[in-house]
Amino acid sequence: MIVVMQPQASMQEKSSVISWAEEAGFKIHLSTGSERTIVGIIGDERALSRERLERMSGVERVVPVLKPFKIASREFKPDDTKFSIGGHLIGGKDLIIMAGPCSVESRSQIIETAHACKEAGAHILRGGAFKPRSSPYSFQ
């Protein structure tokens, strides 16, 4: 659930919304912009009273989001998320290629794969841990 606070909402009004949701057992992700604050309420929003939230002082509107990945949602956070890995900016204008095996099975395999990935233009090497349930026999 996304709660958009009014631009003039006081700290007390914001705190009331946050406290109410936390007391109901939800996690909060707060996004404070230059004009308004957005309170992301993370959890099964069907357990929340949308009407109660809409009546709370300082609330501009309530937007239900029954979708996965709320924290990454453009509805919740319209700005790009950017972070750096090994000197490469992820989320910027440049395309960053990450490549590697699904499962790292040996030192020689990952080194050989690293060289091949680098030659092919990859910027970042990734590799998964071996998982016994990933056996090809599991899919028969």
For the cut 50, the answer to whether the pLDDT of residue 42 exceeds it is yes
List of E strands, 49-131: 59-63, 83-85, 88-90, 98-99, 124-125
Q: Tokens 């319209």 sit at which residue?
A: 78
Q: Which helix (H) or strand (E) holds 21?
A: helix 11-23
Whether 7 and 48 map to the same domain: the answer is yes
**What integer pLDDT is reported at residue 28 of this predicted model?**
94
Residue 88, in any domain of the structure: yes
> Using 50, 70 and 90 to split pLDDT, how confident is the model at 68?
low
Whether 58 and 93 map to the same domain: the answer is no
pTM: 0.49
Number of domains in the chain: 2
For CA atoms 109, 111, 117, 119, the dihedral sign is negative
Q: Which two tokens stand for residue 78?
A: 């319209």
**What integer pLDDT is reported at residue 92 of this predicted model?**
84
For the cut 50, the answer to whether the pLDDT of residue 139 exceeds it is no
Whether 35 and 10 map to the same domain: the answer is yes
**What integer pLDDT is reported at residue 140 of this predicted model?**
45
Report pLDDT digits (tens) over 89-134. Answer: 988 889 999 999 988 889 999 999 999 999 999 999 999 875 655 5
Contact between 62 and 76 (Cβ < 8 Å): no
Q: Counting Cβ atoms within 10 Å, is residue 88 exposed (0-12), middle (13-18) or buried (19+)?
A: middle
Residue type, 58: G
Report pLDDT digits (tens) over 70-92. Answer: 666 676 677 788 888 989 998 88
Domain hosting 126: range is: 83-131
> Using 50, 70 and 90 to split pLDDT, how confident is the model at 38?
very high
Contact between 39 and 14 (Cβ < 8 Å): yes
Whether 63 and 23 map to the same domain: the answer is yes
Whether 68 and 91 map to the same domain: the answer is no
Looking up residue 8, the CATH number of its domain turns out to be 3.30.70.1140
